[in-house]
Amino acid sequence: MTIILFIKIRKENESFFKVKVANWMLGLLILQLIMGAIVVFYHLPSIIITIHLLIEMIFMAILIWFWRSDQPKGKIGSTLIKHLNILSILLFMTIGLGAYIKHQHYGLACGWLGCNDSVLPASLPELLQTSHRALAFIVTGYIIFLAVQIFKEHNHPLKNRIMVALVVVILQIIAGIATILSLVSLSMAVLHLAIGTILFAIIIEGRIMSTR
């Protein structure tokens, strides 16, 4: 499907920027295939799996851009656009770090409010786990902050999206708790990742559909 989309864009003489993005998309697909081969050949190294996932996230963002780029945009101002950019990066980092922690089996490195007998992390697994939770907390707070700003304006173009994002955040928190309670079972970890990916897609789509 990616190759078909790439050929379609090239044949229809789309804008130079679209062709350039299509080239990047094809390059990412090739890189994904290489990463996939490395994952199989080297028996699933965690860092490669994480990079593989992050490339998929970028690939998804590009597909969303192709889907929505030609549609009318809502004017939200440069400040809110900056916030969406920052939030997108934070989500990207949170998902990537979470994936690495899962595959390194660091998911239970810390308890609910501390790591072993200390509030502060004392080892690399504990540091990574604490960092992941801190990022998740920041992302949640950021989305709530943006929701407050957006709800102040009647008929804001991002109002529906941020409402959906809030619901997804709540589901993500529940999934995160359930993942820990299940001792990081594969099914719950996959669900946790899936919900995070949906949240990332919502924010990316909102950013693409926004203009100054």
**Helical (H) or strand (E) element with 56:** helix 46-68
Q: What pLDDT is stored for residue 19 in this prediction?
A: 77
> Average pLDDT for residues 124-139, to the nearest whole number?
92
**Domain residue spans of the chain:** 1-73, 76-212
What are the pLDDT digits (tens) for 26-83? 888 888 888 778 777 777 788 888 998 999 899 999 989 988 888 888 888 889 999 9
How far apart are the C-alpha atoms of 209 and 161, rounded to whole Å?
A: 11
Residue 61's nearest CA partner among 209, 173, 212, 172 is 209
CA distance 74 to 156: 8
The answer on pLDDT for 173 being more than 70 is yes
pLDDT of residue 154: 75
pLDDT of 203 above 90: yes
How many other CB atoms sit within 10 Å of the CB of residue 35?
A: 19
Residue 168 is predicted with a pLDDT of: 96
Q: Two tokens at 55?
A: 């490339």
